[in-house]
Amino acid sequence: MTPKILIIGACGQIGSELTHTLRSIHGKDNVIASDISYNNLDIVNSGIFEILDAQDYTSVKVCIDKHKINTVYLMAAMLSATGEKYPMKAWDLNMDSLFHVLNLAKEGFIKKLFWPSSIAVFGPTTPKENT
């Protein structure tokens, strides 16, 4: 089965690299990039792109239905410095978006879900290697 992949947060630092890599492997029509704004025109213009708020369950579900998505990469995140300044906004973004895609997976709309973490959660004294 050919994967139909949705990358939520595709315009960020890691999301943009992931989008290019997955599009080179699976084709630009099978990898749908999404983000809250058009802030990375390279990603926006390199294949299918959707404006998507990761915190809006209905919008995420509609996008998954529209493109017949079976695999989701949840890359939406707030930069560490911004998250430290606005911890509740960071919590809401990280947890609401995760719960939405977890529920969509539980309901059978998503077959595979990838949600990476960040070394930033371990603090500034974390070793750069072997973590």
72-91 pLDDT, tens digit per residue, is 999 998 888 888 899 999 99
Full domain range(s) for residue 53: 5-122
Residue 108 resides in a domain: yes
Is this prediction's pTM over 0.95? no
Number of domains in the chain: 1
Question: For the purposes of burial, counting CB atoms within 10 Å of the CB of 131, is it exposed (0-12), middle (13-18) or buried (19 or more)?
Answer: exposed
Task: Report d(CA 2, CA 96) in Å as an integer.
Answer: 29
Residue 129 resides in a domain: no
What CATH number did the domain enclosing 39 receive? 3.40.50.720
Cβ count within 10 A of residue 23: 21
Q: Is the pLDDT of residue 119 over 70?
A: no
